[in-house]
Amino acid sequence: MDSYHTIVLLYILFIWLVIIHTFEEVAQGIFKLKIKKIQLTKKKYLIGASLITTLNLITLALLVIENKSGLYIGIFTASVFGVLQFIVHAIGFFKEGGKAKNIGAGFYSSIPLSIVAAILLYHILLQIQL
């Protein structure tokens, strides 16, 4: 299997983990999150999750047809929706005293998500260098 097919398969796994991460956040009550004047609601959260899923599926389609822009969008999505998730949720998890609530909601699924995102990012960067 060539490296481009590896990226496509990793991206499919990445999307699956993002969806699992969304379910975990919902189960842990992310809708109760309030940061200063920002109050997260179900509607705002679900709109955001829908936009993220749509962007991920567009990126996957671009990767499947071997459009180079899919690689560049993949750098963004793997970094922000993958690696950054762990950093944000880990800070929140420890801020909440080791509990997965508020900003720490989604901590457990962010671990495999960030690992797969880092591997995906590595493969994308290798492919761009070629």
Sequential pLDDT tens for the chain (130 residues):
788 899 999 999 999 999 999 999 888 877 777 777 777 788 888 899 999 999 999 999 999 999 999 999 999 999 999 999 899 888 888 887 877 777 777 889 999 999 999 999 999 999 998 6
Confidence at residue 70, expressed as pLDDT on a 0 to 100 scale: 96
Interacting residues of 109 by C-beta distance below 8 A, sequence separation 6+ = 17, 20, 21, 23, 24
pLDDT given at position 130 = 62
Cα dihedral sign for 10, 129, 60, 112? positive
Alpha-carbon gap, residue 21 to 35, rounded angstroms: 20
User: Would you state the pLDDT for residue 29?
Assistant: 79
- Predicted model pTM: 0.90
pLDDT at residue 10, as a whole number: 97
